[in-house]
């Protein structure tokens, strides 16, 4: 705070989202806003709070790559951590959809951590879903932000929380239960909004309403009971706290199990390392097969026998199309490079139709007959990732055993 007891707040990197930072600070009733360029040498932790737009660190698409400023992102992530340690706040302005996955021809890449707003949201069992078209029809539940959201509120993303460890206070919803704005752990504000016009009057009004709401809300959040008051317990309070602790542990255990199933289902969505990690989890945790994933080629792994010797070679691929002859040939080449005989068990697991899949039915794209014939000829067993999940489902419900699945993988072709 300054001598006038006003909060000093940095508005960071608005040049990264199309604005020129004003030369002079904006002096308001309860705070002073300091507009800083993306490459400013000022540090987050030297201010009482920080405001920045979502996707400030992302540079968009170029030559089939989704680019972001990783060096600056890591630096500011460290500063954000220090800001919170000093019990100061950060506000992320959610003005557009989250791009958590990048798709290009035959490429599907995870982009869930390419911006500071994303990293501040990446908690276990906490999900975000962007629906595309913005809506201004918000149900506002935190009064400090009512005027700002009436003027500038607009949401494109809903959030779902199944993590009992998060301290989450709603700011606004769309409809009855679609959470779109909230305070996380009393330090992080996520505000769905339009971007302000570049004209001076609207620009000033936007940040004035926002900043005064933030400072007022943050002060209220800070006025919590001191920790020592918890030493006094009512009898019913003790019973309820014990019950809450027991339920929290049960919910935590349930969430961990659900997270495992979600890890399995990633094989329907991703390519590259995320796909491979999901397949490994299915083989190891689902079927209980010993797996060696240390192959020099990133998409290759091995299922081992009880003596830790290679028993089955596994090639893992992801594509926006169907299963190709090239994939089958690569599985055969992998066997040859590993110096195994031409009849050594080799399976090809492919996540097909990645980009175009909009429903679960889209994952059941048929394998072309000529590719099945070629796979039989090359003695390669081909599975779509949906087939792999279906096999695991059959094991789960007791219709087959893991040993029977293993025998199928060892002996079948085509």
pTM: 0.58
**pLDDT, position 151:** 94
Q: What is the arithmetic mean of pLDDT over 239-249?
A: 87
Evaluate if residue 275 carries a pLDDT over 50.
Answer: yes
Q: Are 286 and 392 in contact (CB under 8 A)?
A: yes
Mean residue pLDDT across the chain? 87
Burial of residue 13 (CB within 10 Å: 0-12, 13-18, 19+) is buried
Evaluate if residue 2 carries a pLDDT over 50.
Answer: no
Q: Are 288 and 320 in contact (CB under 8 A)?
A: no
Could you please state the CATH topology (level 3) that the domain comprising 266-411 is classified under. Restriction Endonuclease (3.40.91)
Task: Write the pLDDT tens digit of every residue in 7-45.
Answer: 999 999 999 888 999 989 999 999 999 999 999 999 999
As a CATH number, domain 7-227 is 3.40.50
**pLDDT, position 66:** 66
Indicate if 266-411 has the same CATH topology as 7-227: no
End-to-end CA distance of the chain: 70
With cut-offs at 50, 70 and 90, classify the pLDDT of residue 3: very low
Q: Which of 14, 10, 40, 42 is nearest to 25 (CA)?
A: 10
**pLDDT, position 340:** 83
Most confident of 83-97, 164-178, 342-356: 83-97
CA atoms within 13 A on the CB side of 8: 13
Q: How far is CA 109 from CA 69, 128, 271, 371, in A?
A: 17, 17, 7, 26
% of the chain at pLDDT higher than 90: 42
Evaluate if residue 162 carries a pLDDT over 60.
Answer: yes
Evaluate if residue 323 carries a pLDDT over 80.
Answer: yes
More confident: 231 or 151: 151
**pLDDT, position 107:** 52
Task: Write the pLDDT tens digit of every residue in 343-394.
Answer: 888 898 988 888 887 888 888 888 888 888 888 888 889 899 899 999 999 9
Task: Write the pLDDT tens digit of every residue in 184-195.
Answer: 999 999 999 999
Q: Which of 336, 332, 341 is nearest to 382 (CA)?
A: 332
| Cβ atoms within 10 Å of 87's Cβ, excluding its own | 11
**pLDDT, position 61:** 58
With cut-offs at 50, 70 and 90, classify the pLDDT of residue 67: confident
**pLDDT, position 154:** 95
Spans of all domains in the chain: 7-227, 266-411
């Amino acid at each position: 705070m300054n001598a006038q007891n006003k909060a000093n707040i940095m508005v960071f990197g608005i040049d990264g989202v199309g604005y020129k930072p004003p030369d002079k600070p904006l002096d308001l009733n309860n705070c002073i806003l300091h507009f800083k360029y993306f490459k400013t040498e000022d540090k987050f932790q030297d201010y009482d709070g920080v405001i920045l737009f979502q996707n400030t660190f992302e540079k968009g698409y170029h030559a089939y790559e989704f680019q972001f400023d990783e060096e600056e992102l890591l630096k500011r992530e460290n500063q954000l951590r220090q800001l919170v340690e000093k019990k100061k706040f950060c506000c992320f302005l959610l003005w557009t959809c989250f791009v958590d996955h990048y798709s290009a021809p035959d490429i599907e890449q995870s982009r869930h951590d390419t911006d500071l707003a994303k990293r501040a949201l990446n908690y276990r069992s906490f999900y975000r879903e962007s629906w595309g078209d913005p809506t201004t029809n918000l149900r506002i539940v935190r009064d400090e932000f009512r005027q700002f959201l009436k003027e500038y509120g607009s949401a494109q993303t809903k959030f779902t929380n199944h993590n009992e460890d998060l301290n989450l206070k709603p700011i606004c919803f769309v409809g009855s239960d679609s959470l779109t704005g909230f305070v996380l752990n009393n330090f992080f504000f996520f505000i769905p909004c339009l971007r302000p016009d570049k004209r001076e009057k609207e620009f000033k009004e936007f940040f004035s309403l926002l900043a005064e709401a933030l400072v007022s809300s943050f002060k209220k959040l800070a006025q919590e009971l001191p920790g020592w008051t918890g030493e006094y317990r009512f009898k019913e309070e003790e019973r309820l706290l014990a019950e809450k602790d027991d339920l929290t542990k049960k919910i935590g255990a349930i969430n961990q199990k659900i997270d495992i199933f979600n890890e399995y289902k990633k094989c329907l969505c991703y390519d590259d390392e995320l796909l491979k990690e999901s397949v490994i989890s299915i083989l190891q945790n689902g079927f209980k097969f010993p797996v060696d994933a240390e192959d020099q080629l990133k998409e290759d792994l091995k299922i081992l026998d009880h003596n830790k010797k290679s028993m089955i070679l596994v090639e893992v691929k992801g594509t926006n199309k169907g299963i190709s002859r090239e994939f089958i040939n690569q599985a055969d080449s992998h066997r040859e490079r590993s110096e195994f005989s031409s009849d050594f068990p080799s399976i090809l697991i492919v996540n097909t139709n990645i980009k175009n899949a909009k429903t679960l039915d889209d994952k059941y794209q048929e394998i072309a007959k000529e590719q099945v014939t070629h796979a039989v000829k090359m003695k390669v067993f081909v599975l779509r990732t949906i087939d792999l999940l279906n096999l695991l489902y059959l094991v789960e419900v007791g219709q087959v055993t893991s040993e029977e699945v293993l025998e199928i993988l060892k002996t079948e072709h085509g």
